[in-house]
Amino acid sequence: MSTILYDNVSVSYGTNEKTALKNFNLQINSGEIISFIGSSGCGKSTALNVAAGLLTPTNGELVVDDLITRSPGIDRGVVFQNYSLFPWMSNLDNVLFALRQRYDLPNKTLQAKAADLLDRVGISGNFQKVYPSKISGGMQQRVAIARMFALDSPIFLMDEPFAAVDEITRKHLQSLLLDLWEKEENRKTIVMVTHNIEEAIYLSDRVVVLHEGEINSVVAIPFERHRNRREIENKSEYLMIKNHLLQAIEEKIVGGER
């Protein structure tokens, strides 16, 4: 089980600052993929950082698996836009580091596990041994995904994880994430922040649109898994959902759930 509950969460950054998150109520189910979208400054990262335990609510509670949670933990793996790898470690060692936090196994076994995980995200041979700075942004993000799966947290929290790569790489990484997620026996709960509506629809079970710190709309994505990007984009419902989301981002919609 890996559920997240935002129980009436509000966050203010300082006494004179405006409230970044207001009475935020959301239940996220185990194995669900949820995206937060909305215009700049609407509170997406604040909501994600509360889930990560990096921010404590000013009011209300974050509840993870029925426990009030106010700090980071190994039950929640985090990936940020800027790759979040340790620059002083090779790609292999980055993944190994995560494995060591999770498993008490001989080094050789963990090395093989790390190499296998990197192979699965398409980082093979010499690319495993070099430092992250020696490979492209898209490849670094593959390593970050491998490291997240190595940590094997039941919850993944991702803040614009694919924003810094080109469109083609971005689509590859989205599919890679979904492939890995679908293959897991106990599917991870994934919460991600994105500015990209197509990404949100392709990946998510539900898309949560924020507006000035409040939930404006929660949109269920009805497409079955395994999803084929082209197929879903050709469905008439896809366009309706996309238009609804665009509208919800641009203006305050009254009476949110779709």
Ligand X SMILES: Nc1ncnc2c1ncn2[C@@H]1O[C@H](COP(=O)(O)OP(=O)(O)OP(=O)(O)O)[C@@H](O)[C@H]1O
81 vs 141 by CB, closer to ligand X: 81
Q: Which two tokens stand for residue 197?
A: 């509506």
**Residues lying near ligand X in the complex (CB under 6 A):** 13, 17, 20, 38, 40-46
CB of 63 to ligand X, least distance (A): 20
Q: How far is the CB of 42 from ligand X (least distance, A)?
A: 4
Identity of the residue, 13 or 86, whose beta carbon is nearer to ligand X in the bound complex: 13
Min dist CB 43 to ligand X, Å, is 4
Nearer residue to ligand X within complex by CB, 150 or 215? 215
CB of 16 to ligand X, least distance (A): 10
Beta bridge mates, 62 = 6
Comparing CB distances to ligand X, the nearer of 17 and 224 is 17
> Is the C-alpha dihedral spanning 62, 66, 71, 76 positive or negative?
negative
- Rounded to a whole number of angstroms, the minimum distance from the CB of residue 36 to ligand X is 8
Q: Considering beta carbons, is residue 44 or 188 the nearer one to ligand X?
A: 44
The one-letter amino acid code at 163 reads: A
Taking Cα atoms as reference points, which of 8, 6, 12, 2 lies closest to residue 73?
Answer: 2
